[in-house]
Amino acid sequence: MLKRLFFTIPVSVFFACAEPPQRDCGNFKTGEFSFTSVIDGEEKTTTFKRTTEMEVDFFEGKRDTSSIRWINDCEYILRNRNPKNKAEEKSIHIKILTTTDSSYTFEYNAIGDKRKFKGTAFKIH
């Protein structure tokens, strides 16, 4: 028991001293970004421009505009301004999990859907 205690304490201290992930969300509230995802086995890239109130997405030659409601510095809700079907009527909750100087990793899901997805967006400008 004493051996286990001497092993557990240093390991616990090591992990407690580890630096938490960077999360400077303010740098990503506005700007131009790109996000690549795999759809039906093929990589697809979306670019988008975001202001504090609106996001305009460009995907496969099409443009989509969504309003933004910020919950806090790292979370917001996207609502499509011109939905073309029932799926597009659902708002999307986005939560920034970690940041670097030029990118952020985020988690997103449709409101009411328990499935969550992750992605990484890169700041272009």
In tens digits, the chain (125 residues) has pLDDT values of 544 444 445 545 455 555 556 788 999 999 999 998 888 888 989 999 999 999 999 999 999 999 999 999 999 999 999 888 888 889 999 999 999 999 999 999 999 899 999 999 999 97
Pick among 2.60.40.1250, 3.40.50.970, 1.20.1250.20, 2.40.128.490: CATH of 21-123: 2.40.128.490
Question: For 13-23, what is each residue's pLDDT tens digit?
Answer: 455 555 556 78
Q: Which of these, 58, 60, 31, lies nearest to 43 by C-alpha position?
A: 60
Question: For 53-73, what is each residue's pLDDT tens digit?
Answer: 999 999 999 999 999 999 999
**pLDDT computed for residue 17 by the predictor:** 54
Q: Which of these, 97, 86, 23, 29, lies nearest to 110 by C-alpha position?
A: 86
86 sits in which H/E element: helix 86-89
Residues pairing with 106 in the sheet: 96, 119
Q: Which of these, 87, 97, 65, lies nearest to 78 by C-alpha position?
A: 65
**pLDDT computed for residue 11 by the predictor:** 46
Buried b (16+ CB within 10 A) or exposed e, 64-83: bebebeeeeebebebbbeee
